[in-house]
Amino acid sequence: MSLRQTAGGPGWGPFAPVFIGADLTRAGVPAEFNIRRHPPFINPVADTTGFRMCEMDGEPKKTGRKPRADSIRNREKLLAAASSIFSAGGPGASLEAVAKEAGVGIGTLYRHFPTRESLFQAVYAREVDELVTLAETLCAESNDPVAALRRWMHACVRTVATKRGMLTALSPSTDGSAEFLAERSARLRSAVADLMQRGAETGRLRSDVTPEEVMRAFIAICYMQQDDGWQDTVTRLLDVLVDGLSVPGQENG
């Protein structure tokens, strides 16, 4: 059985479903004032962007009307800004900060992402897409499978940071998210399987360690450190992991 074939196991990717804390209503804030879950001025029927705003799968749903170019640009700017703001984390990670970073008003943010969950899923889906694309590029272009795996894992650390920041700032509900998260986990396991398979075929990476085991180790390393500066510590430990997966004496050149 190849490494690639072992990638379809249970959802142990670094972005597997997690239980998320109580929302604002559980903290005593009346639901009608909980604007992070129910923006007070969004009318999903009177939508002029060409998207149906209340879908929850991370992708905009077409209403039959072609979205305006400026609406598409604003959505991409919001997603990029959200990745930047939430990966940095801290008290400044808020919806208002995302809108300001994107150069749009808070109303524009809510028109595109009327709930915390819709923003969480859209940002997360975009991050996973980028990681999958990176893995494909590294497999096709890199002549050093060890360096390719190392670079991909370093990129994953930023995605974990973004997810952590979103969970803290947005406290999105996980209701109805299991399938969405499982699909993204499967894509990440497939990506790391491709990287490891290529390394094993060239004799540069061990063939007796499965992608599932690598992802389990990745999770353990990423979530063992919670304090400031955790990304630097995690990156160093991931380097140790990759060094352990490499086959001594098989360096290029």
- Biggest CA–CA distance in the chain, Å, is 65
Residues paired with 210 in a beta bridge: none
Residue 11's region, left for phi above 0, alpha for psi from -120 to 50, else beta, is beta
Question: Structural domain boundaries of the chain?
Answer: 34-112, 116-245
In order, the DSSP letters of 90-145 are STT-SHHHHHHHHTS-HHHHHHH--SHHHHHHHHHHHHHHHHHHHHHHHHHH-S-H
Q: Rounded to two decimals, what is the model's pTM?
A: 0.74
* Superfamily holding 116-245: Tetracycline Repressor, domain 2 (1.10.357.10)
Residue 95 has pLDDT above 60, yes or no: yes
Secondary structure of 220-251 in the HEC alphabet?
HHHCCCCCCCHHHHHHHHHHHHHHHHECCCCC
How does pLDDT run across 165-224, given as a tens digit for each residue?
999 999 988 777 899 999 999 999 999 999 999 999 999 999 999 999 999 999 999 988
Residue 38 has pLDDT above 80, yes or no: no
Euclidean distance between CA atoms 54 and 118, whole angstroms: 8
Q: How sure is the predictor about 252, in pLDDT bands with cuts at 50, 70 and 90?
A: low
Average pLDDT of the chain? 79
- pLDDT > 90 in the chain, percent: 61
Euclidean distance between CA atoms 82 and 101, whole angstroms: 8
Residues in contact with 180: Cβ distance below 8 Å, sequence separation at least 6, in sequence order:
56, 57, 58, 121, 125
Task: Quote the pLDDT of residue 207.
Answer: 94
